[in-house]
Amino acid sequence: MDTTPPTDSLGGILDPGGAALAAELNDLESELLDTYRRLLVSQRNPLGIDQEAWTTCRQQARHVIEECVHALRRGAQPQLSRQLLQKTRRLGGARISQGIAPVYSVRAGALLFQVVMEALGDAAVRHPGAAHQLMSALISLQTAITRRLEEGAGGFDLFLLDVVCDAEQQGRHGMAREIHDRIGSIASLALRQLELYELTQGPTPTADPRLGSLKQAILETLYTTRDIVTELRTRTNTTRSLQMALRAFISAMALDEPLVEIRVTDPHDLLPRSLGDDLFLMLRECLRNAITHASATRVTIEVHVDGAQARATVRDDGVGFSPRLRTGNGLMSLTERTSLLGGRVTIDSEPGKGTAIVLSVPVGRLDGRDDEQDKENHGEHGRGTAARA
């Protein structure tokens, strides 16, 4: 007798109990998407009203349904690619730039859950043998929607961070103009006047040697001014942006406890912008866990970047937990994101003894744009930063 479990066209092992639900959900996809949009429009949600927004919303909803079908067939949630996560994150930033507030994405996610849940419930009634799979299907549906809402929220945060960084950069450019126009112009004028004076005096052995020293001092002022202006106009410090983002997040929480300390060091300024964004999202998740679940009075965040890797450690003095027994969306998302970056997560915790989470990620070039951006923005001199929030 052949005991080999059945497989689908992709070679994946089928879950017989969920196959009927999966097949019906797959057949209903177009109908569910039409119902979904009709309800969005009835709720005056711009994600259904605006055609451009609906195009991306429909694509996300279709992926959610496909993931649910996958989980029903194979009994496991699919691993999302880094490209898909990045696309979802960028979508969160794009929507806020279009004037679509994050609350509409949350409402749309809840509505999609309702639409698909009702379809799964009806299908389970028609296929009594698959009724026991309904709960796992709903969990899969919730996970797929939550993943996208988390990435979209991350994109929203990064959009705001970009706004802050752009404002900071504009301030630096303004300062560069002021230094160039005021100090640079005055020093240049002083040098020209001194050179004219030397021409009118002609070569003379009795010339005051202090004039030579004065000319050298003016030249040094011009060189220093030029260096400062160049630095202000071209340099962006990713580690400082990471630290600013973390401090802004903590300030927005407006909590008396825990006390949070942040130390970010990048001696050679090697942290690429996109990796800094990923680190911010992961450290923010660690902070949320410490604030929400740990009942901690003190949290420390340490990030150190060297030529090979970025290592981030988050420690708290909270209640602790057993890593083997706790598995939630936050920890799963943290592990998945680190894995997609080629890194690893280490969790050291036990009840009553606090928690230490260590993220180790290689400092590689994630794409050509990062490489060119870093060549343009990063100078030879590194700098470390330390702050207390």
How confident is the model over 45-60, as pLDDT tens digits?
Answer: 999 998 888 988 998 8
> pLDDT tens for residues 72-82?
887 777 776 66
Residues paired with residue 301 on neighbouring β-strands, in sequence order: 262, 314
Q: What angle do CA 252, 275, 348 make, to 5 degrees?
A: 75
With beta carbons less than 8 A apart as the criterion, state whether 76 and 84 touch. no
Q: Which domain holds residue 227?
A: 164-234
With beta carbons less than 8 A apart as the criterion, state whether 256 and 280 touch. no
In this prediction, residue 160 carries a pLDDT of: 67
Strand extents, DSSP E, the chain: 259-266, 298-305, 309-316, 344-349, 355-362, 383-388
Mean local confidence (pLDDT), 332-341: 84
Cα–Cα distance for residue pair 164/261, rounded to 1 Å: 21
With beta carbons less than 8 A apart as the criterion, state whether 248 and 358 touch. no
pTM for this model (two decimals): 0.49
312, 382: one domain: yes
Assign 305 to helix, strand or coil: strand
Mean local confidence (pLDDT), 307-318: 90
Domain membership of residue 38 (yes or no) is: yes
pLDDT band at 388 (very low <50, low <70, confident <90, very high): very low
Domain membership of residue 8 (yes or no) is: no
38, 94: one domain: yes
117, 181: one domain: no
In this prediction, residue 33 carries a pLDDT of: 94
Task: Provide CB contacts within 8 A for 67, sequence distance 6+.
Answer: 77, 78, 140, 144
279, 184: one domain: no
Domain membership of residue 3 (yes or no) is: no
CB atoms near residue 165 (< 10 Å): 19
Q: In the predicted model, is pLDDT for residue 141 greater than 60?
A: yes
Give the count of domains, the chain: 3
For residue 183, what are its two tokens? 């100090």
In this prediction, residue 376 carries a pLDDT of: 42
Cα–Cα distance for residue pair 211/337, rounded to 1 Å: 63
CB atoms near residue 366 (< 10 Å): 16
197, 244: one domain: no
Task: Provide CB contacts within 8 A for 41, sequence distance 6+.
Answer: 48, 49
Q: Choose the most confident range, by mean pLDDT, from 142-151, 202-211, 268-277.
A: 142-151
Domain membership of residue 228 (yes or no) is: yes
Cα–Cα distance for residue pair 135/154, rounded to 1 Å: 28
**Angle, in degrees to the nearest 10, between helices 329-340 and 134-178:** 60
In this prediction, residue 165 carries a pLDDT of: 64
Q: In the predicted model, is pLDDT for residue 188 greater than 60?
A: yes
Q: Decide which of 23 and 227 is more confident.
A: 23
